[in-house]
Amino acid sequence: MSFSSVAALATQDNTSLPLADFSDTPVWLSLVKALLLFVYLLVSVLLMIWFERRVIGRMQQRPGPNRTGPFGLLQSLADGMKSMFKEDVIPKNADRLIFTLAPILFATMAFVSFAIIPLGGTVRMFGHTTPLQLTDLPVASLLVLAVAGVAAYGIVMAGWSSGSTYPLLGGLRASAQIISYEIAMGLALVAVFLYSGSMSTSQIVAAQSDLWYIVPAFVSFVVYVITMVGETNRLPFDLAEGEGEIVGGYFTEYSSMRFAMFFLGEYVNMFTVSALATTLFLGGPAALPGLGFMAGGWWGLLWFTLKMWLFMYFFVWLRGSLPRTRYDQFMAFGWKLLIPLTLVWVIAVAFIRGAQLGYLGDATITLLGRAVPIATLIIVSVLALFVLAAVWVWEGRVARAEASRQAPPPEEIDPFAGGHPVPPLPGQRLREPAAAGTAPAVTAHRSTSPTKEAPRG
């Protein structure tokens, strides 16, 4: 298949998909929708903070916030007010301008990404017919990746401008983490672009009217879900703020509203990546199968919100269930597994789409009453063999690592080999003092059994 054929796959049937119609949307209505979107995200963040505390509290058998307001619903608002009135401390060695711009840039970019997300269908608003979407672009899906790259500058600026070592290390780690996982995230989205023939979010939603892309692009969905957790610095991938290594991350020196803006940006980013996953893989504002009578218009906002909150619950469940990973393992997982996997998957999807559209020949075979292109069967078979080979290699490595861990300890040890006397393990014996070259008086009283010690006192 030639490169021109691959390019044709990304644009096939693009003109047949409906575009978001903003012809009846004046500028003032766009500003109103931007304000409503801002309020929607702020309220969602307040609810999410309360929801996370309550759910993790239930998982850990404790109540969570339950004092401020009914069911503790006003606790997040109270914490926000407390952040506003706390003392704003700036380190002596900090660059004051960059120190202030960093949280503003980080939080602003989080809100910008949500502008291209279709929240619902076309509705009547203040006498005008307008889609529940702030704007749309031919490459709208790539805007999220671009904005995430700009947000990484805010993290680097925060770590550098603090004038402290640990925030600088946290900023470097966080930026490397974001950039690394953006590669796998972008590759995971390519399969959706090939299936829909567009990068416009409204057109991708329209292309899923018959089948949500979570089914044909399931591998991309799994990779995207993993990368979106790493992209937002959430457990088990919140390595930018490893307390045992770098104290608190790139925002260690921040306080008051500057810290609150980082906190706000992180939660808005969670909603952004969840909304993009809902749009690209779950049909966006489309109703659940069998509930088509509750579709379109304002109903789409309900379905979109429910799907998005499923991902938010997934974030909370991960935080309450898994420990933090090691940084080198996390980066190796992204570069050595996710990126090669998505590259192979994208190539396979390109060939499968080429076979479906006749670029690889029209020969078919009937399976289960359906005509399946022979090229598709060949591609799927080769991909299956590749997966089996990868699993075989992986299991071999795991078996060798397990065998090395289960190697029997030596029967004879030198207690002074490391400079300090070491008691023997069960089944071991101490080397003779003469052979070890040590003083016999030190080990004469020690028994070969590690469970018996000389009485004290």
Per-residue pLDDT tens digits of the chain, which is 457 residues long: 443 444 444 444 454 666 777 777 888 888 998 899 999 998 999 999 999 999 999 888 888 888 888 888 888 888 888 888 888 888 888 888 988 888 888 888 888 888 888 888 888 888 888 888 888 888 888 888 888 888 888 888 888 888 888 888 888 888 888 888 888 888 889 989 988 888 888 888 888 888 888 988 888 899 999 998 888 888 888 777 766 666 777 888 888 888 888 888 888 889 999 999 999 998 888 888 777 777 777 888 888 999 999 999 999 998 888 888 888 888 888 888 888 888 888 888 887 777 666 655 566 666 666 666 666 666 666 667 777 777 777 777 777 777 777 766 666 767 666 666 777 777 667 776 654 444 444 444 444 444 444 444 4
Establish if 451 belongs to a structural domain.
no
CA dihedral of residues 205, 209, 211, 216 (deg, nearest 10):
-30
- The answer to whether residues 102 and 167 belong to one domain is yes
Q: Which residue, chain included where needed, has tokens 């995230």?
A: 185
Question: What pLDDT shows up at residue 286?
Answer: 84
Question: What pLDDT shows up at residue 310?
Answer: 93
- Please identify, among 307, 325, 343, the residue that sits at the C-terminal boundary of a domain: 325
Q: Which residues contact 251 (CB under 8 A, 6 or more apart)?
A: 103, 158, 167, 170, 241, 258, 259, 262
Question: What pLDDT shows up at residue 5?
Answer: 43
Q: Which residues make beta-bridge pairs with 122?
A: 131
Report the amino acid identity of residue 334: G
Question: What pLDDT shows up at residue 82?
Answer: 85
Burial class, 36, CB count within 10 angstroms (exposed 0-12 / middle 13-18 / buried 19+): middle
Question: What pLDDT shows up at residue 125?
Answer: 83
Establish if 1 belongs to a structural domain.
no
Structural domain boundaries enclosing 268: 17-325
Residue 80 CA, chain-centre distance (Å), reads 25
Token readout for 293 is: 């009578």
Establish if 332 belongs to a structural domain.
yes
Cα(235)–Cα(367) distance, integer angstroms: 44
Cα(83)–Cα(210) distance, integer angstroms: 47
Sort strands 429-430 and 412-413 into parallel, antiparallel or unpaired: parallel
Establish if 359 belongs to a structural domain.
yes
Give the max Cα distance, the chain.
98
- The answer to whether residues 269 and 350 belong to one domain is no
- The answer to whether residues 62 and 167 belong to one domain is yes
- The answer to whether residues 142 and 282 belong to one domain is yes
- The answer to whether residues 254 and 288 belong to one domain is yes
- Please identify, among 385, 400, 415, the residue that sits at the C-terminal boundary of a domain: 400
Query: Taking the model in full, what pTM does it have?
Result: 0.76
- The answer to whether residues 196 and 341 belong to one domain is no
Burial class, 142, CB count within 10 angstroms (exposed 0-12 / middle 13-18 / buried 19+): middle
Nearest in space to 271 (alpha carbons), one of 11, 15, 42:
42
- The answer to whether residues 306 and 331 belong to one domain is no
Cα(179)–Cα(183) distance, integer angstroms: 7
Question: What pLDDT shows up at residue 7?
Answer: 42
- The answer to whether residues 321 and 332 belong to one domain is no
- Please identify, among 300, 325, 350, the residue that sits at the C-terminal boundary of a domain: 325
- The answer to whether residues 334 and 277 belong to one domain is no
Question: What pLDDT shows up at residue 443?
Answer: 41
Number of structural domains, the chain?
2
Establish if 442 belongs to a structural domain.
no
- The answer to whether residues 60 and 41 belong to one domain is yes
- The answer to whether residues 302 and 346 belong to one domain is no
Burial class, 236, CB count within 10 angstroms (exposed 0-12 / middle 13-18 / buried 19+): middle
- The answer to whether residues 156 and 30 belong to one domain is yes
Establish if 353 belongs to a structural domain.
yes
Establish if 411 belongs to a structural domain.
no
Establish if 437 belongs to a structural domain.
no
Burial class, 81, CB count within 10 angstroms (exposed 0-12 / middle 13-18 / buried 19+): exposed
Do 304 and 310 touch, CB atoms closer than 8 A?
no
